[in-house]
A and B are shown apart, each in its own frame.
Chain A
Amino acid sequence: MSETVIHAENLTKRFGDFVAANALTLEVYKGEIFGFLGANGAGKTTAMRMFCGLSIPTSGKATIAGYDVYRQTELIKKNIGYMSQKFSLYEDLTVLENIRFFGGIYGLSNAQLKSKSDELITQLGLQHEAKKLVSGLPLGWKQKLSFSVAVLHQPKIVFLDEPTGGVDPVTRRQFWDLIYDAADKGVTIFVTTHYMDEAEYCNRISIMVDGKIEALDSPGNLKKHFQVDSMHEVFYQLARGAKRGE
């Protein structure tokens, strides 16, 4: 088994009396595409924010790329990329300006910024939009841009929180091409999704129900274990008992 990049043991986050993430235990290996599934309100975003050093856990242990989530959040941040569920690039800056700004914050040199932006713009096919304000882009392109900004500084792990929510099937396909490209380069991908076809693309997945991880394995093994043909049914069997959700 290859190197462990995410290691969590009984990681818990409470908001008052409410346990949003309950004793999460999991390991993710280098270069994996790890699918993090769960119904609305299951606690996926909460867990991911703890992994990214954006939220301090209430209890439990976790290391990301070898760094502790309580004490070494800034070191974690150097080594990860994060794409939040809500689009969070600057709408009043252009595509290029966003890339330049975040690249600059991560400490890229001017030469690196130049070559990186050219590379990304070509890869995304955004040549004509490069100098346009982000606010005018269609959602699919915004999401692809967010992804590029998240991998700009060549992180070891990228966390993608519902990167394809509301995106059309063609763009979704292109998005997964981007994910595969990154994984091929050895980047670990930690991704949440509500699309079961995307779950099938992952090496391993976990399914969260009401703050707890109820299942964790490869899609094939899970289907075998639950004796069903599709991930959709696996998810349905687990998640229908959920109390939370909208």
Chain B
Amino acid sequence: MKVIKFLLEKEFRQIFRNRSILMLIMVMPIIQLILLPLAANYEVKNINLSVVDHDHSPYSQKLISKITASGYFKLTGYDQSYKDAFHLIESDDADLILEIPNGFERNLIREDEQKLLVAVNAINGVKANLGGAYLANIIRNYNTDIRFELLPSEKFNQVPMIDITSSNWFNPFLNYRVYMVPGILAILVTMIGGFLTALNIVKEKEAGTIEQINVTPIKKHHFILGKLIPFWILGNIVFIIGLLVSWLIYGIVPVGSLTLLFGFIAIYLLAVLGLGLLISTFCDTQQQAMFIMFFFMMIFILMGGLFTSIDSMPDWAKTVTRFNPVSYLISVMRMVILKGSSLHDVLPHLGVVALFAIGLNSWAILNYKKAN
């Protein structure tokens, strides 16, 4: 164990001597945490809506005014026919068409049932899809209002509850920043930890210093631990800085236990650093290590559930995300920070990440060759 002390002493000396890198490690996440959530705002406003009202009734008017009052929609057309409205979609002037059929009011009152047609311009898919979802929500609300007005109160009980997706449930104002910040922090911690470790051993290979280490009787697991521990500490510091930034700038205070959060990050970092170390045992140059790490990071980030929802991925992609440590961190961060989930809730995630940590680090130790 005394050997580890010397390894750590040396590693920290080198880290602290390289001030510019140290500054980057500390300052970069702060800047990114401030900038990225502002840019990655999924809340869509000014959705161009074209309405085709065949009914011209007080009820259809009421629906339209409810939609425009929501603040998300801009009425760009009020057309006579679906065909006219469709021209607007073709010229990209409308994102959505809402068609209210003839007899809307009558059917609603008498038959208690009515169909509306919503057409979506799929070119700007995100905007139109979200718009469609908002519109559906508004119509559902309207539906409840109407029934409340029309029906006797005992019948009101049968009205289905408005279902809101769980993310909105815990994030009631649809504040995407609250949703994004924990995810972005997860990615930052992963990138910093992964890249630093991937490049570190390779740097020693390039400089030739690893040869001088390999010719000593040092134990392989001591060497790997000597690389793991410093970056583990650094990763934790970055995470703490990140939590402070989210609190100071976004007012995000974890609903759940901080201890649980730190416990999870502690194990998660071992997994990510293990991957970095493993990559560096395979590579001879920093360029190789960089590219391989980049390959994994791209997949981790794009398939981590931050920018695209894992639920809407095809099955094969869902299977891939099961091997993506970032997806576990992002969901645990959201669970603990936004929902206040307990250890019991995140235990499955913790188990998988711990397996990654053990597997990747053992592999790194095995694959680190003192002789060739």
- Which residues of A pack against B, CB within 8 Å? 52-56, 73-75, 77-78, 80, 82, 84, 86-93, 97, 100-102, 104-107, 149
CB distance from B372 to the nearest CB of A (A): 6
- The reply on B173 being an interface residue by CB < 8 A is no
CB distance from A93 to the nearest CB of B (A): 6
CB contacts under 8 Å to A, within B1-52, are 2-3, 5-7, 9-10, 13-14, 17-18
Q: Could you jot down 26 A-B contacts, CB within 8 Å?
A: A54-B370, A73-B370, A74-B217, A74-B370, A77-B215, A77-B217, A80-B215, A82-B212, A84-B211, A84-B215, A88-B208, A88-B209, A90-B207, A90-B209, A92-B14, A92-B17, A92-B18, A93-B10, A97-B13, A101-B6, A102-B212, A102-B216, A104-B2, A104-B6, A105-B3, A106-B216
Q: Are A84 and B370 in contact (CB under 8 A)?
A: no
Q: Are B3 and A89 in contact (CB under 8 A)?
A: no
Complex formed: what's the CA distance from A159 to B216 in Å?
13
Q: Are A91 and B207 in contact (CB under 8 A)?
A: yes
Whether A88 touches B3, Cβ cut-off 8 Å, given contacts A54-B371, A55-B371, is: no
For A101, the chain B residues whose CB sits under 8 A away are 6, 9-10
Q: Are A55 and B372 in contact (CB under 8 A)?
A: yes
CB distance from B173 to the nearest CB of A (A): 50
- The reply on B168 being an interface residue by CB < 8 A is no
- The reply on B218 being an interface residue by CB < 8 A is yes
Q: Which residue of B lies closest to A101 (CB)?
A: B10
Q: Which residue of B lies closest to A146 (CB)?
A: B212
- The reply on B61 being an interface residue by CB < 8 A is no
CB distance from A70 to the nearest CB of B (A): 10
Q: Which residue of B lies closest to A133 (CB)?
A: B17
Q: Are A84 and B208 in contact (CB under 8 A)?
A: yes
Identify the 6 closest CB pairs spanning chains A and B, nearest first: A104-B6, A88-B208, A82-B215, A88-B212, A77-B217, A78-B217
- Give the total number of A-B pairs whose CB atoms are below 8 A apart: 77
Complex formed: what's the CA distance from A53 to B370 in Å?
8
Q: Which residue of A lies closest to B215 (CB)?
A: A82
For A84, the chain B residues whose CB sits under 8 A away are 208, 211-212, 215
- Using A101-B10, A104-B2 as known contacts, list a sample of 19 further A-B pairs with CB atoms less than 8 Å apart, ordered by residue number in A: A52-B215, A53-B370, A54-B211, A54-B214, A54-B215, A55-B372, A82-B215, A84-B211, A86-B208, A87-B208, A88-B208, A88-B210, A90-B10, A90-B207, A92-B14, A93-B17, A101-B6, A104-B3, A105-B213
- Interface flags, B143-169, vs A, CB<8A=1, else 0: 000000000000000000000000000
CB distance from A26 to the nearest CB of B (A): 20
For B214, the chain A residues whose CB sits under 8 A away are 54
CB distance from A84 to the nearest CB of B (A): 5
CB contacts under 8 Å to A, within B210-254, are 210-218
Give the one of B7, B209, B217 with max A CB within 10 A. B217
CB distance from B151 to the nearest CB of A (A): 79
Complex formed: what's the CA distance from A93 to B13 in Å?
8
Report how many residues on chain B are interfacial, defined by Cβ distance under 8 Å. 26
Q: Which residue of B lies closest to A52 (CB)?
A: B215
Complex formed: what's the CA distance from A164 to B6 in Å?
30
Q: Are B10 and A56 in contact (CB under 8 A)?
A: no
Whether A105 touches B218, Cβ cut-off 8 Å, given contacts A54-B370, A73-B370, A90-B14, is: yes
Q: Which residue of A lies closest to B208 (CB)?
A: A88
Q: Are B215 and A53 in contact (CB under 8 A)?
A: yes
Q: Are A77 and B216 in contact (CB under 8 A)?
A: yes
For B210, the chain A residues whose CB sits under 8 A away are 88
Complex formed: what's the CA distance from A107 to B2 in Å?
8
Complex formed: what's the CA distance from A89 to B217 in Å?
16
For A52, the chain B residues whose CB sits under 8 A away are 215
Q: Are A88 and B371 in contact (CB under 8 A)?
A: no
Complex formed: what's the CA distance from A89 to B215 in Å?
12
For B5, the chain A residues whose CB sits under 8 A away are 104
Q: Are A106 and B208 in contact (CB under 8 A)?
A: no
For A55, the chain B residues whose CB sits under 8 A away are 371-372
Complex formed: what's the CA distance from A73 to B215 in Å?
9
CB distance from B51 to the nearest CB of A (A): 68
Whether A88 touches B207, Cβ cut-off 8 Å, given contacts A55-B372, A77-B217, A93-B13, is: yes
Complex formed: what's the CA distance from A100 to B13 in Å?
12
CB distance from B58 to the nearest CB of A (A): 79
Complex formed: what's the CA distance from A101 to B217 in Å?
14
Complex formed: what's the CA distance from A151 to B212 in Å?
13
For A106, the chain B residues whose CB sits under 8 A away are 216-217
Q: Which residue of A lies closest to B209 (CB)?
A: A88
Complex formed: what's the CA distance from A97 to B208 in Å?
18
For A92, the chain B residues whose CB sits under 8 A away are 14, 17-18
Q: Which residue of B lies closest to A84 (CB)?
A: B211
For A73, the chain B residues whose CB sits under 8 A away are 370-371
For B218, the chain A residues whose CB sits under 8 A away are 105
For A78, the chain B residues whose CB sits under 8 A away are 217
Complex formed: what's the CA distance from A74 to B9 in Å?
24
Whether A93 touches B14, Cβ cut-off 8 Å, given contacts A74-B217, A104-B6, A105-B6, is: yes
Q: Are A56 and B17 in contact (CB under 8 A)?
A: no
Q: Which residue of B lies closest to A149 (CB)?
A: B212
